[in-house]
Amino acid sequence: MHVLILGGTTEGRRLAELLHGTPGLKLTSSLAGRVASPRLPPGETRVGGFGGAEGLAAWLREHAVDAVVDATHPFAGTISFNAAQAAATSHVPLLALRRPGWVPVEGDRWREVGSLREAARSLPALGRRVFLTTGRMGLDAFADLDALWFLVRSVDAPQPPHPSRMEVLLDRGPFTLDGERELLRRHRIDVVVTKDSGGAATAPKLAAAREARLPVVVVRRPPVPEGVPVLSDPEKAAQWVRAHLEQGSFPAID
Which residues form the domain of 138?
Answer: 109-219
Interstrand relation of 166-170 and 191-195 (parallel, antiparallel or unpaired): unpaired
Same domain, yes or no: 121 and 210: yes
- pTM as predicted: 0.85
Q: What's the confidence (pLDDT) of residue 244?
A: 83
Number of domains the chain is built from: 2
Segment 22-34 shows an average pLDDT of: 90
Same domain, yes or no: 65 and 9: yes
Same domain, yes or no: 35 and 66: yes
- State the Cα–Cα distance between residues 187 and 67, nearest whole angstrom: 47
Segment 37-63 shows an average pLDDT of: 92
- State the Cα–Cα distance between residues 209 and 181, nearest whole angstrom: 8
Segment 55-69 shows an average pLDDT of: 96
In the three-class reduction of DSSP (H, G, I as helix; E, B as strand; rest coil), residue 54 is classed as helix
Q: What is the CATH number of the domain that holds 232?
A: 3.40.50.720
Per-residue buried b or exposed e for 133-150, using 16+ beta carbons within 10 Å of the residue's own CB: bbbbebbbbbeebeebbb
Cβ atoms of 5 and 20 within 8 Å: the answer is no
115 within some domain = yes
Q: What's the confidence (pLDDT) of residue 64?
A: 97
Whether 178 shows a pLDDT value over 80: the answer reads yes
Q: What's the confidence (pLDDT) of residue 31?
A: 93
- State the Cα–Cα distance between residues 176 and 203, nearest whole angstrom: 9
Q: What's the confidence (pLDDT) of residue 205?
A: 97
Q: What's the confidence (pLDDT) of residue 254?
A: 65
**65-69, 75-79, 180-184: the lowest-pLDDT one:** 75-79
Higher pLDDT, 216 or 43: 216
Cβ atoms of 97 and 70 within 8 Å: the answer is yes
Segment 55-68 shows an average pLDDT of: 96
Residues 6+ apart with CB under 8 A from 83: 6, 53, 56, 68, 70, 94, 225
Same domain, yes or no: 146 and 117: yes
Segment 22-33 shows an average pLDDT of: 92
252 within some domain = no
Whether 252 shows a pLDDT value over 90: the answer reads no
Cβ atoms of 150 and 124 within 8 Å: the answer is no
Residue 221 DSSP symbol: P
- State the Cα–Cα distance between residues 107 and 214, nearest whole angstrom: 10
Higher pLDDT, 201 or 249: 201
Average pLDDT in the chain: 93
Q: What's the confidence (pLDDT) of residue 38?
A: 75
Secondary element (H or E) of residue 235: helix 234-247
Same domain, yes or no: 115 and 214: yes
Question: For a pLDDT cut of 70, what percent of the chain falls above it?
Answer: 97
Same domain, yes or no: 133 and 91: no
Segment 57-85 shows an average pLDDT of: 94
Distance separating the N- and C-terminal Cα atoms of the chain? 24
